[in-house]
């Protein structure tokens, strides 16, 4: 099987881009990634997107973006797996290059939550849960996450504000990321006083929906331009797995099985263990997801992740640095682009280009993109090459 | 690169399934394909779907279908490329097995046009064209196809009813397909008297939107069950390419460049020429698309495809049999499932299981799935193995 390297990375600032459309955002990220790769010419485009058919009345994004990026004649397709669309698009790009059939693959994640010419955001997001048995009841993902959080707090006797560590870490790291939506650290009092969204989930326990696009150029090492100057990053493990769509069909709501299985598979393929992971980009759209992922992926015992976060274990110099560029919470949650942002940010860390946010001696990263409450989990191991 | 074979095929009848939902249809096709493969256990599921987020308020289909098919723990993702979603899903399944990373891939195409709990069908279909520059003007795909057809008739001096051959052939073949929506041959007079949809395009120049699901099990030859009894069919060529999304951005509206390029690439990979192709499953959602595909793929000179159809050249015993099980016109057009139906039907032909519709000595098939007016084209070469 062919070794796959990340030759180029690109991203837009995450936020409310009222003046830019879906295609503008994507093209910005694509052009940045192609430039960063030294001008490699992609043959295949994999678009990670979650909600454009509903929010923007726009499907067939592969063609739209290839067209506007000046890449006509390549192949292009959209990959959808709810919030994991970005991670899933990366995986398809990885498979294309790994197969030997594609020399250079371009992966772009894009989401445009503003400019709601189609459905409203809550209705659109509800399409990612079970339309017949969940969404039709009026259940939102935030309400569902609140129930999960309540259960966790009950089972593991977690105090009020026990989840503060996730938001505090994310915002501290967002301060050092020029592409983050929120670039300001917050204090414990800010978390403690935050308005409730759905008790016990407050506004700092959930990530802001935002516009943004991120892109990756994947290729083989022998195809890199001769003057390629970035430290090399390879994709050494890739795995994806699914659980039930509806949470009520799970045996144990608090076990994110897909997060565990896909992380294990990706690590096995890469030949690394939990202890080898220098940073973990989790899918913290809700702080409870972050906690359950840390536990599923083997970084904390069940019921202990909140304590790890509280004690500084997930900060840049902690045991397992997480959300190193702000995560979904502070960088923002651009839907189907989120998983691609994770890869871009991990690559920045592994290249040693993260400046004030640099994780010391970062060699191996685990990134994990979720769709729904870990109904889908896509895990990748990225490694720096000397 | 690993050889990829089609181990199992499955399909539902195409039609208006008011009593069945999206998941029911897909599960029926999946179970049939898995059974047909001798019980192979898939690791990866690629779902081809076009409009479920809009028509059924349901995204995240990979998880939904894996869940209901009893395949939890595998990986699953949705592939979207408008009308080419089915062909694109096949291509992703092919890449997964060809990469060596996946042993058994399941491809399912599914579409549910009835039960419109979400958007109306015309609005949903319009999301596949350019939302900002085409759909917003009220342009439908049928109106656009009528303009193309008018231009073709003008440039090549085609008489009224010159396109009848496509519908006559499709309906003649649909009569022998137990899964076809329309199983009755039609007479030239029926075509001539048909109501206009958008002059000069009449109701027999366009395919009916329909519900349906089709599935494929892909694997390596060495993984087939020891008692595997079907004649073997392999995927020997796979290619996809994109053109502009908006028709007004093309230099020559009547040249379906993507159909040409992807067919050439797929044939090159398979090591076959135009003359080696025994049957061609084109994407005849509109008769003008069929004509332009026949010309682009090298089976007719420019402006001559309608004549080839009129002269019986595309019938089961003609020079290049097309729409051998009824095509989109008579089998019906189940959106993102259509490209998977093409593969199922071609496999039936290559196995020699097409009964009254059997193309004599069928060894090599070209199938081509389009998104929009060939904005996307996905081509595959399937071959029977002795």
Tell the residue number behind the tokens 């979720």, with chain if given. A370
Asked whether residue A215 is assigned to any structural domain, the reply reads yes
Asked whether A378 and A262 are in contact (CB, 8 A), the reply is yes
Domain end position, chosen among B188, B223, B258:
B223
- The answer on B13 and B67 residing in a single domain is yes
pLDDT confidence of A132, banded at 50, 70, 90? Answer: confident
- The answer on A143 and A263 residing in a single domain is yes
Asked whether residue B87 is assigned to any structural domain, the reply reads yes
CA distance B29 to chain A (A): 20
Among residues B213, B203, B143, the alpha carbon closest in space to that of B330 is found at: B203
Planar angle of CA B319, B350, B291, nearest 5 degrees: 40
Asked whether residue B270 is assigned to any structural domain, the reply reads yes
Dist CA B177 CA B152 (whole Å): 31
pLDDT confidence of A279, banded at 50, 70, 90? Answer: very high
Domain end position, chosen among B168, B193, B223:
B223
pLDDT for position A117: 73
Query: Which residues on chain B are in Cβ contact (under 8 Å) with A88?
Result: 77
pLDDT for position B99: 87
- CATH value at residue B373: 3.40.47.10
CA distance A121 to chain B (A): 13
Q: What does the pLDDT look like over B250-268, one tens digit per residue?
A: 999 999 999 999 999 999 9
Asked whether residue A218 is assigned to any structural domain, the reply reads yes
Backbone angles phi, psi at B251, to 5 degrees: -70, -45
Considering only the beta carbons, identify the residue of A58, A92, A371 that sits closest to B127.
A58
Q: What percent of chain B has pLDDT over 90?
A: 92
Query: Which residues on chain A are in Cβ contact (under 8 Å) with B105?
Result: none
Asked whether residue A274 is assigned to any structural domain, the reply reads yes
Q: Which residue has the higher pLDDT, A119 or A167?
A: A167
Asked whether residue A323 is assigned to any structural domain, the reply reads yes
pLDDT confidence of B328, banded at 50, 70, 90? Answer: very high
Number of C-beta neighbours around residue A291 at 10 A: 32
- The answer on A248 and A218 residing in a single domain is no
pLDDT for position A83: 98
Our count of domains for chain B comes to 2
Q: What does the pLDDT look like over A295-316, one tens digit per residue?
A: 999 999 999 999 999 999 999 9
- The answer on B304 and B368 residing in a single domain is yes
Put simply, the answer to whether A63 touches B244 (Cβ < 8 Å) is yes
Q: What does the pLDDT look like over A281-295, one tens digit per residue?
A: 999 999 999 999 999
Asked whether A177 and A183 are in contact (CB, 8 A), the reply is yes
Average pLDDT of chain A, as a whole number: 96
Across A167-176, average pLDDT: 98
pLDDT for position B138: 87
Across A265-275, average pLDDT: 98
Asked whether residue B273 is assigned to any structural domain, the reply reads yes
Query: Which residues on chain A are in Cβ contact (under 8 Å) with B80?
Result: 53, 59-62, 77-80
pLDDT for position B87: 98
Dist CA A336 CA A51 (whole Å): 8
Query: Which residues on chain A are in Cβ contact (under 8 Å) with B21?
Result: 132
Asked whether A224 and A351 are in contact (CB, 8 A), the reply is no
Asked whether residue B229 is assigned to any structural domain, the reply reads no
Locate the chain A residue with the closest alpha carbon to B21: A132
Query: Which residues on chain B are in Cβ contact (under 8 Å) with A110?
Result: none
Which residues does A386 contact at the CB level (< 8 Å), separation at least 6? none
Q: What does the pLDDT look like over A218-267, one tens digit per residue?
A: 999 999 999 999 999 999 999 999 999 998 899 999 999 999 999 999 99
Asked whether A146 and A200 are in contact (CB, 8 A), the reply is yes
pLDDT for position A1: 73
Dist CA B345 CA B233 (whole Å): 12
CA distance A141 to chain B (A): 14
Query: Which residues on chain B are in Cβ contact (under 8 Å) with A90?
Result: none
Domain end position, chosen among B189, B223, B257:
B223
Which residues does A150 contact at the CB level (< 8 Å), separation at least 6? A199, A200
Asked whether B288 and B201 are in contact (CB, 8 A), the reply is yes
> Is B54 in a helix, a strand, or coil?
helix
- The answer on A152 and A60 residing in a single domain is no
Put simply, the answer to whether A98 touches B99 (Cβ < 8 Å) is yes
Dist CA B241 CA B247 (whole Å): 16
pLDDT for position B314: 98
Put simply, the answer to whether B79 touches A76 (Cβ < 8 Å) is no
For strand B75-80 and strand B105-111, is the pairing parallel, antiparallel, or unpaired? Answer: unpaired
pLDDT for position B169: 98
Q: What does the pLDDT look like over B159-177, one tens digit per residue?
A: 999 999 999 999 999 999 9
Q: What does the pLDDT look like over B361-382, one tens digit per residue?
A: 999 999 999 999 999 999 999 9
Backbone angles phi, psi at A360, to 5 degrees: -60, 135
Query: Which residues on chain A are in Cβ contact (under 8 Å) with B1?
Result: 99-101
Asked whether B53 and A53 are in contact (CB, 8 A), the reply is yes
Residue A66: pLDDT above 80? Answer: yes
Partners of residue A310 on adjacent β-strands: none
- The answer on A150 and A64 residing in a single domain is no
Put simply, the answer to whether A57 touches B135 (Cβ < 8 Å) is yes
Q: What does the pLDDT look like over A88-105, one tens digit per residue?
A: 999 999 999 998 889 999
Tokens of A145: 């996450």
Locate the chain B residue with the closest alpha carbon to A87: B77
- The answer on B282 and B196 residing in a single domain is yes
CA distance B269 to chain A (A): 10
Which residues does B303 contact at the CB level (< 8 Å), separation at least 6? B152, B155, B156, B158, B295
Put simply, the answer to whether A80 touches B59 (Cβ < 8 Å) is yes
- The answer on A379 and A239 residing in a single domain is yes
**DSSP H or E segment with residue A54:** helix A52-55
Tokens of B322: 């097309």
Residue A176 belongs to what domain range? 137-207+234-385
Q: Quick one: how many helices (H) and strands (E) in chain B? A: 13, 11
For strand B201-202 and strand B196-198, is the pairing parallel, antiparallel, or unpaired? Answer: antiparallel
Asked whether A148 and A288 are in contact (CB, 8 A), the reply is yes
- The answer on B242 and B109 residing in a single domain is no
- What's the start-to-end Cα distance of chain B, in Å? 21
* Pairs across A and B, CB distance < 8 A: 213
Considering only the beta carbons, identify the residue of B78, B117, B242 that sits closest to A80.
B78
- The answer on A215 and A183 residing in a single domain is no
- The answer on A317 and A214 residing in a single domain is no
CA-only gyration radius of chain A, Å = 19
Query: Which residues on chain B are in Cβ contact (under 8 Å) with A245?
Result: 60, 63-64, 67
Write the DSSP symbol of residue A118. Answer: S
pLDDT confidence of B117, banded at 50, 70, 90? Answer: confident
pLDDT for position B283: 98
- The answer on A171 and A99 residing in a single domain is no
Dist CA B80 CA B63 (whole Å): 15
Q: What does the pLDDT look like over B125-168, one tens digit per residue?
A: 999 999 888 888 888 999 999 999 999 999 999 999 999 999 99
pLDDT for position A238: 97
pLDDT for position A120: 87
Distance of alpha carbon B140 from the chain centroid: 20
pLDDT for position B104: 98
Read off the pTM: 0.97
pLDDT confidence of B122, banded at 50, 70, 90? Answer: confident
């Amino acid at each position: 099987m062919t070794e796959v390297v990340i030759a180029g990375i690109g991203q837009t600032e995450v936020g409310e881009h009222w003046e830019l459309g879906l295609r503008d955002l994507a093209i910005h990220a694509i052009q940045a990634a192609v430039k960063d790769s030294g001008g490699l010419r992609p043959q295949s485009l994999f678009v990670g997107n979650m909600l454009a058919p509903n929010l923007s009345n726009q499907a067939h994004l592969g063609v739209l973006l290839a067209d506007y990026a000046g890449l006509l004649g390549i192949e292009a397709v959209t990959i959808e797996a709810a919030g994991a669309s970005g991670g899933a698009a990366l995986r398809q790009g990885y498979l294309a290059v790994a197969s030997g059939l594609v020399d250079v693959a371009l992966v772009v994640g894009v989401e445009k939550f503003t400019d709601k010419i189609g459905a409203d955001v809550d209705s659109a997001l509800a399409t990612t849960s079970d339309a017949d048995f969940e969404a039709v009841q009026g259940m939102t993902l935030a309400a569902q996450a609140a129930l999960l959080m309540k259960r966790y707090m009950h089972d593991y006797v977690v105090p009020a504000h026990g989840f503060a560590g996730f938001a505090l870490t994310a915002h501290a790291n967002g301060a050092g990321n020029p592409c983050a939506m929120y670039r300001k650290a917050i204090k414990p009092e800010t978390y403690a006083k935050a308005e409730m969204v759905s008790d016990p989930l407050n506004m700092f326990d959930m990530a802001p929906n935002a516009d943004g696009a991120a892109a990756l150029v994947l290729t083989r090492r022998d195809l890199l331009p001769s003057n390629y100057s970035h430290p090399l990053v390879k994709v050494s493990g890739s795995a994806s797995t699914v659980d039930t769509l509806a949470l009520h069909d799970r045996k144990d709501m608090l076990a994110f099985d897909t997060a565990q299985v896909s992380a294990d598979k990706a690590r096995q393929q890469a030949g690394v263990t939990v202890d080898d992971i220098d940073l973990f980009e989790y899918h913290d759209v809700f702080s409870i997801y972050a906690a359950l992922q840390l536990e599923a992926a083997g970084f904390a015992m069940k019921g202990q992740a909140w304590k790890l976060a509280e004690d500084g274990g997930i900060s840049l110099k902690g045991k397992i640095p997480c959300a190193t560029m702000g995560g979904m919470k502070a960088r923002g949650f651009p839907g189907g682009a989120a998983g691609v942002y994770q890869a871009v940010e991990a690559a920045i860390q592994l290249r040693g280009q993260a400046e004030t946010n640099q994780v010391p001696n970062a060699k191996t990263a685990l990134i994990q993109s979720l769709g729904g409450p870990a109904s889908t989990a896509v895990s990748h191991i990225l490694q720096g090459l000397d």
